Structure 1
Amino acid sequence: MKSASYLPEAEAIPEYAWSIFPSGESLLIIEVAGTDRIVQNQLARNFAACVAAAQLACVIDITPAMTTVGIHYAPSRVPLSHPAEAPYDALVKVVTGLLERATAAQPKSARIVEIPVCYGGEHGPDLENVARSCGLSSDEVIALHSESLLDVMLLGFAPGHPYIGMFDERLSPPRRATPRVAVAPGSVGLANRQSVIYPMTMPGGWNLIGRTPSLMFDASRDTPCLVNAGDRIRFVPITPKQFQACQSTDRHARAAR
């Protein structure tokens, strides 16, 4: 394992260990070890950005997750130092060099995305239960959920499905004991100091505290996913009337394409 001290923010962070290993014949995994999930996630996202900036011709896709980065590559495109060298070994050398040099780099400023949310009622049927379980009022839950900038820690489970965190420790209800079979697109879930936003109708066990009219995933857009790992989210409370107006505007915009 290698020691890494890449700087995800302006201030230095504790050193964390990382390792590289294969997954199949064309996927390389970088795994960040450590005890602080937030720092591990920052490192994973920054390592992904570092590899992406290198624009390696053999790399097909880069997927940052919570504490890992997946690098999909074409073995035939990996430059070898000698004919007997395996593509995986050659790519590991390149990636290791990139990560070691990353200790002196600073990441670009994160993009800030505002997500309007209509909290409670039909759009957030679990809000009151969440408030009770957290020992808060519904208004306090909404205030805590919308008062800070949060990181998009990763996209996963479905296209355009962000995991967002980490919230105030008071917002740490467990997931529902019984998942829902179908959750409406745009629904904002909360559990264990994290939120997700459902990009489409799908099953889910998160506590639903609100819903956004924003379309999280649209394959017809130049950039299908509304947010990406490394972005920062600010939730903005809106009224049911504003929710309807935003939804109507978005439907007209899609129909005009």
Structure 2
Amino acid sequence: MDEIKFRPFGDGAVTIDISKNNRDGRLIIEQIEKKCFKGLIEIVPGFTTITVYYDPFAIYQICNGLSPFQFVEMKLKQIINEIGEEKKYSSREIIIPVCYGGELGPDLVNVANYHHLTEEEVINLHASQEYVVHMIGFAPGFPYLSGLSKKIATPRKDTPRTFIPAGSVGIGGEQTGIYPLESPGGWNLIGRTPLTLFNPNANIPSLLQAGDTIRFQPITYKEFEVLKEAEKN
């Protein structure tokens, strides 16, 4: 694994810096969950960090003269050291069907013009890449994905939209992502998926998790309507 650093985050959390290797991050999270210790509250993955929240009062009872931060840092180092260099995170591979362009992707033509490409070339570049979910943020279930081709990296819009439909696939700078819920936003919308990315009533509300591998699959508007209807049932 790359070098890992620890730093306090307030008086009830430790932030682990994991550089840009998100799959190592998922492996660390899995290991912490398996070796859960007294006082652990929550593990929150970030783009290049993992923040481990703990109850300092519960830790104080068992920290044997160390500060709560020192004790939790020690426990986390022990847990991470047990992983071993040979172990790798086995990520889920998820296919996201997307209908590109038209009313579902109103900014596709703008992205194409910005890069002096055809719309079809933008679609091919977007759909030919393998992406990794680095974190879920901004809105419940919103995945920040790495892996976008620099050939279609496009600045965010100067004026954000006040309404973006759920399932919209966008490009913002060097990242691509999917809006799981209706919301405002400033990314360039190039298509839409019929899949439900966030269901608050499900046992696991977010379809995507940090560490997942994603591929986009172009579909027609008719296929989009059929899949969208199937999602309702």
Show CA shifts across 1:17-74 (max 9, x none): 43212222222111235xxxxx344443443333233233432221111111111122
Q: Secondary structure at the match of 1:104?
A: coil
Trace 1:184-195 onto structure 2 (pairs within 5 A). 184-195=165-176
Q: Secondary structure at the match of 2:170?
A: strand
- Report the alpha carbon displacement of residue 202 of structure 1 after superposing the two structures with TM: 1.1
- Report the alpha carbon displacement of residue 221 of structure 1 after superposing the two structures with TM: 0.8
Matched, 1:126 2:107: yes
Is residue 26–residue 210 contact of structure 2 (8 Å, CA) maintained in 1?
A: yes
Residue of structure 2 in register with 1:108 after alignment: 89
Residue of structure 2 in register with 1:11 after alignment: none
Show CA shifts across 1:205-225 (max 9, x none): 110000111111001111100
C-alpha distance in 2 between matches for 1:57 and 1:81: 11
C-alpha distance in 2 between matches for 1:205 and 1:72: 31
Structure 2 unmatched ranges of 5 or more? none
Alignment match of 2:151 (pick from 170, 173, 179): 170
Trace 1:53-202 onto structure 2 (pairs within 5 A). 53-78=34-59, 80-82=62-64, 84-202=65-183
Residue of structure 2 in register with 1:227 after alignment: 208
Structure 1 unmatched ranges of 5 or more? 1-5, 7-15, 34-38
TM-score, structure 1 length as denominator?
Answer: 0.83
Is residue 100–residue 190 contact of structure 2 (8 Å, CA) maintained in 1?
A: yes
Is residue 80–residue 86 contact of structure 1 (8 Å, CA) maintained in 2?
A: no
Instruction: Report the RMSD for the aligned CA atoms in angstroms.
Output: 1.8
**Alignment: residue pair count:** 232
- Of structures 1 and 2, the one scoring higher in RCO (CA 8 A, sep 6+) is 2
Using the aligned pairs only, state the percent identity.
Answer: 35
Which region of structure 1 is more displaced relative to structure 2, 114-123 or 70-79?
Answer: 70-79
C-alpha distance in 2 between matches for 1:62 and 1:145: 31
Is residue 169–residue 191 contact of structure 2 (8 Å, CA) maintained in 1?
A: yes
